[in-house]
Amino acid sequence: MQKIAVIGCGTMGLGIAQIAAMQQHQVYVYDSNPIALQNAKIKLQKTLDSLVEKTKITNEQSLLYFQQVNWCEQIENISNCDLVIEAIIEDFEIKKQIFAKINQLVSPQCIIASNTSSLSITSLAACVSHPQRFIGIHFFNPAPIMPLVEIIPAIQTDTNTISTATAIVSNWKKTIVQAKDTPGFIVNRVARPYYGEAIRIYEEGIATKEQIDQIMRNEGGFRMGPFELMDFIGHDVNYAVTETVWKAFYFNSKYIPSFSQKRLVEAGYLGKKTGRGFYIENESKDKLIEVDSELSRTVFERILCMLLHEAADALYYKIASRDDIDMAMAKGVNYPKGLLQWADDFGIEKCVSILDYYFDYYHEERYRCSVLLRNMANDRINFYN
Ligand X SMILES: NC(=O)c1ccc[n+]([C@@H]2O[C@H](COP(=O)([O-])OP(=O)(O)OC[C@H]3O[C@@H](n4cnc5c(N)ncnc54)[C@H](O)[C@@H]3O)[C@@H](O)[C@H]2O)c1
Task: Give contact residues for ligand X (rule: CB under 6 A).
Answer: 7-13, 31-33, 36, 87-90, 94, 98, 115-117, 139-141
| Nearest distance, CB of residue 240 and ligand X, angstroms | 9
Measured in residues, the chain has a length of: 385
For ligand X, give the closer residue by CB, 66 or 232: 232
Number of Cβ within a 10 Å radius of residue 49: 14
Considering the complex, what minimum distance in angstroms separates the CB of residue 289 from ligand X?
Answer: 30
**Of the candidates 158, 149, 160, 157, which has an alpha carbon nearest to the alpha carbon of residue 185?**
149
Q: Which of residues 13 and 226 has its CB atom nearest to ligand X in the complex?
A: 13
Annotation says 25 is catalytic = no
Amino acid identity, residue 12? M
Residue 180 and residue 208 in contact, taking contact as beta carbons nearer than 8 Å: no
What is the closest distance, in whole angstroms, from the C-beta atom of residue 11 to ligand X in the complex?
4
Residue type, 123: S
Using the minimum distance from each CB to ligand X, give the nearer residue, 188 or 296: 188
Pairwise CA distance, residues 37 & 71, whole Å: 7
Identify which of residues 33 and 132 has a Cβ nearer to ligand X in the complex: 33
Question: Is the separation of the CB atoms in 16 and 43 below 8 Å?
Answer: no
Residues 323 and 116: their CA atoms lie apart, in Å, by 23
Measured CA angle at 103 (ends 249, 39), to 5 deg: 80
Catalytic residue among 86, 150, 197, 228: 150
Contacts for 226 with CB less than 8 Å, ≥ 6 apart: 194, 195, 198, 199, 212, 213, 216, 303
Q: Which is nearer to ligand X, 16 or 110 (CB)?
A: 16
**Least distance CB 8 / ligand X (angstroms):** 3
For this structure, is 188 an active site residue? Answer: yes
Q: Are 131 and 125 in contact (CB under 8 A)?
A: yes
Catalytic residue among 86, 103, 115, 138: 138
- Eight-state DSSP code of residue 75: G
Q: How far is the CB of 167 from ligand X (least distance, A)?
A: 21
Q: Which residue is nearest to ligand X (CB)?
A: 10
Question: Which residue out of 62, 120, 188, 238 is catalytically annotated?
Answer: 188
What DSSP element (H or E) covers 293?
helix 293-316
Question: Known catalytic residue: 86?
Answer: no
- Residue 233 parent element (H or E): helix 226-233
In whole angstroms, the minimum distance from the beta carbon of 382 to ligand X comes to 32
Q: Between residues 207 and 241, which has the closer beta carbon with respect to ligand X? A: 241
Annotated catalytic residue 296:
no
Q: N- to C-terminal Cα distance for the chain?
A: 42
**Among positive and negative, which fits the CA dihedral 150, 155, 160, 161?**
negative
Give the active site residue among 117, 118, 120, 238: 117
Q: Which residues are catalytic?
A: 117, 138, 150, 188
